[in-house]
Amino acid sequence: MQNNIFSGLFVGQNLITIKQVASTNDFLKNTLSNSKPLPEGTVIMAESQFAGRGQQQNRWHSEAGKNLTFSLLLNPSFLPLAKQFDLTRAVSVGIYRALEPLLGNQLKIKWPNDIYYADGKLGGILIENLVQGSQIKNSVIGIGLNINQDNFPLDVPNAVSIKQILHKDYDLKLLLSEICKNIEAAYLNLKAGSFDAVRKAYIERLYWLNEDKMFKANGLIFGGVIKDVKPNGLLVVHNGIEYLDFNLKEIEFLNK
Backbone angles phi, psi at 109, to 5 degrees: -105, 120
Give dist(CA 140, CA 155) in Å, integer: 27
**Chain mean pLDDT for the chain:** 91
Strands 120-132 and 114-117: antiparallel
Number of residues that this document lists for the chain: 256
How many degrees, rounded to 5, is the angle at CA 231 between CA 229 and CA 232?
95
Q: Where are the domains of the chain?
A: 15-204, 212-253
Query: Nearest-5° angle of CA 202, CA 204, CA 206?
Result: 70
- How far is the C-alpha of 133 from the C-alpha of 81, rounded, in Å? 10
List 128's β-bridge partners, or say none: 140
Judged by DSSP in three states, 228 sits in: strand
Determine the pLDDT at residue 64: 76
pLDDT > 90 fraction of the chain, expressed in percent and rounded: 79
> Over 80: is that where the pLDDT of 60 sits?
no
Is the pLDDT at 247 greater than 80? The verdict is yes
Q: From its phi and psi, is residue 163 left (phi > 0), alpha (psi between -120 and 50) or beta?
A: alpha
Weakest-pLDDT range from 20-24, 60-64, 92-96, 201-205:
60-64
What are the pLDDT digits (tens) for 96-145? 999 999 999 999 999 999 999 999 999 999 999 999 888 899 999 999 99
Count Cβ atoms below 10 Å from residue 131 Cβ, excluding itself: 12
Tell me if 187 sits within 8 A of 11, measured CB to CB: yes
**Do strands 52-53 and 43-49 pair parallel, antiparallel, or not at all (unpaired)?**
unpaired
Report, as an integer, the average pLDDT of 53-57. Answer: 46
Instruction: Kindly state which CATH superfamily the domain 15-204 is placed in.
Output: Bira Bifunctional Protein; Domain 2 (3.30.930.10)
Pairing of strands 243-246, 107-110: unpaired
How far CA 227 is from CA of 61, 82, 92, 110, in Å, comes to 31, 21, 18, 13
Q: What is the pLDDT of residue 2?
A: 45
C-alpha closest to that of 173 among 2, 1, 5: 5
Taking the model in full, what pTM does it have? 0.92
